[in-house]
Amino acid sequence: MMILSGDRPRSRILSVLLLVIVVALAVTPFVFPGAKAMNVATKICIFAALVASYDLLLGYTGTVSFAHTMFFGIGSYAVAIALYAIGPSWGAVAAGLAIGLPLAALLALGIGLFSLRVEAIFFAMITLAVASAFLVLASQLSWLTGGEDGRSFTLPELLRPGTVFIPKNVLGTAITGRTLTYYIVLVGSAAMILGLLRVVNSPFGRVLQAIRENRFRAEALGFRTVFHLTYANCLAAVVAASAGALNALWLRYTGPDTTLSFAIMLDILLMVVIGGMGTIYGAVVGAAVFILAENYLQSLMGAASTAAADAGLPLLPGLLHPDRWLLWLGLLFIASVYFFPTGIVGRLREMARPQAEG
């Protein structure tokens, strides 16, 4: 847990929880059969990196940005357009990354230089306007992006589901191009999260926290706050674009609904709050909790409703009906924010602090 950054989880329960999540993600292709389990695990990996990059802004600088899905979409669209136009080759993937990541950094630089001098609420509104404009642009430029229908493409041969490296009768689970793509996503996401942990525990990260606590005092101490905030914005944008590229490789498709939707931005905010702002570890926990609840809560409620009906219990079968899963999901999130105002990671660290002091 101290790889590169030296930042301990500072809670035994948190250490065990992170270890369980990492091990579960690492063995998913072999232990949890089926396409749904792989899709859920991949989404956790991608969103853990995406949420961690947003936590760098919200949790460590106090900056609220609504343009994060724009950077996510830039990385996704860059890889998709390159593979669609050039063809299924590794050169096309490299070209997409070479275009998408610098483009995301340049846009973040422009937004930072022109907007970070204003108050927080005005910066949030500016980023919302830019993200909305980019969404409209992606929907209208159908010759380039595919418009509302998005852009489908073919992956290099090694990443295709039909490519079999080890047949099923050898290990019990076939190792295919899909498996290789999953582990590329897993390793790439882990590398980005570890890199962000290193950043926030560096002197640069300490300055960001000082700016978050008191921007005027940080300026009085001689720190160039606009430079540090802009640099953090660019770094978060590059990580978000990289997560978008991984998302495109996994889905083999990119469209406005999968990368640029404002609903994704709300999900990112929820994951940051649930996991714990200003921790980076919270991104992993928040993404895992949110995405697992989003995908499995409905089926669990269906089983509970059936069990309550078989037991002859009144009201419960109706309250636990699967069609009401969104209601219960919302109530669970309200309860988590109420009982864990500092997020799951923050709460676990608070519980561990008296033991450490004792």
Q: Where are the domains of the chain?
A: 12-357
- If one compares 245 and 222, the residue with the highest pLDDT of the two is 245
Contact 96, 245 (CB under 8 A): yes
In the structure, what pLDDT confidence band is assigned to residue 164 with cuts at 50, 70 and 90?
Answer: confident
Yes or no: say if 295 and 47 are a contact pair by the CB < 8 Å rule: no
Q: Is 32 left (phi over 0), alpha (psi -120 to 50) or beta?
A: beta
How high is the mean pLDDT of the chain? Answer: 89
Question: Which amino acid is present at 205?
Answer: G
DSSP 166: E
- Here the tokens at position 150 are 């998005």
- pLDDT (tens digit per residue) in 260-284: 999 999 999 999 999 999 999 999 9
pLDDT tops 80 at residue 119 = no
3-state secondary structure 304-355: HHHHHHHCCCCCHHHHCCHHHHHHHHHHHHHHHHHHCCCHHHHHHHHHHHHH
Structural fold of domain 12-357: ABC transporter involved in vitamin B12 uptake, BtuC (1.10.3470)
Q: How confident is the model at residue 1 (pLDDT cuts 50, 70, 90)?
A: very low
